[in-house]
Amino acid sequence: MFEFKLRDSDENIRRQSDSIVQSRRFISLLEDIPNMIIIMNQYRQIIYMNRKFTETVSKRGGNGTIGKRPGECLLCIHATDTEFGCGSTDFCRVCGFANAIEKSSKGTKASGECNITLDHGETLTFSVHTRPFEHLGNRYIFAYMQDISDFKTRQMLENIFLHDINNSITALNGLNELIEEMPLKETKSIINDLSLRLTDEIHSYRLISEAENQSLSVIVSEVNVDGLIESVLKTLTNNRYMRDRKIQHKKSGLVIHTDETLLRRVLINTIKNALEVSSDDQEIGIFSEKFKKESFYSINVRSQPLIPRDVQLQLFQRSYSTKGPGRGWGTYSIRLLTEKYLGGKVDFVSNKEQRTIFTISIPDLEN
């Protein structure tokens, strides 16, 4: 029974502490902690990983080998961008884990959030805590990681959905107060805009939620690419704030077998982004083509405004939006749906010569 009146001596406490930390039993306890723990040397190479880290890596198809760096084990798509690996790319400058490690390498504790972008459009989000220590004259960094992917997804979905629904309700309340003074034609236009917006928000919420929960089904049918683009443009330009945008759609005559609902959502988000960043005097171009040697099709959306470099580095991350924290589905949903469910690839360029072009490349799923 616990005797609360008694305490051990300071000498015994120090002896017990030294003994337990140096014992194999202590290491086995670290193995059973339900969150990820790694220890890195001064070159950011992992010299110790606990069971949870190994399991997380294996689950994603990675290889938890001693000597690798964190992003290399977790299969971050940017870890192979340069010959020097994890920690050496431009993308590492905006990585919360890399920044925490950098701070600890200079002798301080650090924490942050890290988005690891994987193949097929998926993202892992970690809460990370790091601290430096020395052992036998060598410097190391201890890192504690918690997978918060599910929490961040739920937070993103709830925040965005509730924010957008609240905006629509606010607009309806404002319309209700002014309806007697407004022309009937303008009233109908506003009601139509709000109805389309609400429908789109509910559909987006359901689709992204199912995609994140791995419960989304792909239904393949024959899709007329030109017809689908025209339908998307009609939906988007029904919004009175976007109906005066200059849009040039170069028709291709292409027909592809894919999931029309998912491709439509990808195009809505891609073209909508272009419309939102453009002004009425900046033309948006849309053109499609088929790769000659492959059964792949691409749909390209070109806009005039350039994307700042710091935004480019975070563009496809979950929870990132130029609208602010917790706002917008962003390009994350474009990549997730295209790469994980349509079997394709999303890419972009943004420079003075070409301006900004987003390219959605997808295969014909009947082949």
| Per-residue model confidence as pLDDT tens digits over 73-104 | 888 888 888 888 888 888 888 888 999 999 99
Which residue(s) pair with 302 in the sheet?
285, 357
Give first-to-last CA distance, the chain, whole Å.
71
Q: Which residue has the tokens 């909508």?
A: 272
**Phi and psi of 85, rounded to 5°?**
80, -160
111, 144 in Cβ contact below 8 A? Answer: no
pLDDT grade, residue 23 (50/70/90)? confident
Instruction: Give the H/E segment covering residue 228.
Output: helix 225-237
Which residues contact residue 125 at a Cβ distance below 8 angstroms, ignoring those fewer than 6 apart? 113, 114, 115, 116, 147, 148, 149, 152, 318, 319
The Cα–Cα gap between 81 and 91 comes to 10
Could you tell me if 41 and 140 are in contact, meaning their C-beta atoms sit under 8 angstroms apart? yes
Query: Residue 120's pLDDT band (boundaries 50, 70, 90)?
Result: low
Residue 292: the pLDDT is 66
The burial class, CB within 10 Å (0-12 / 13-18 / 19+), for 189 is middle
Q: How many Cβ atoms sit within 10 Å of the Cβ of residue 24? A: 7
Tell me phi and psi for residue 259, to 5 degrees.
Answer: -85, 110
Q: What is the pTM of this model?
A: 0.70
Rounded CA separation 202/165 (Å): 9
Instruction: Say which DSSP state 252 is in.
Output: -
Using a pLDDT cut of 90, give the percent of the chain over it: 21
Q: How much is the pLDDT for 104?
A: 93
Q: Which two tokens stand for residue 177?
A: 């107060």
- The pLDDT value recorded for residue 192 is 73
Q: What pLDDT does 143 receive?
A: 94
Domains, the chain, in order of start with CATH, read 10-147 (3.30.450.20), 151-363 (3.30.565.10)
- Other CB atoms within 10 Å distance of the CB of residue 83: 6
Least confident among 87-91, 176-180, 290-294:
176-180
Note the pLDDT of residue 358.
94
Mean pLDDT of 317-335: 65
* pLDDT band at 287; cut points 50, 70, 90: very high
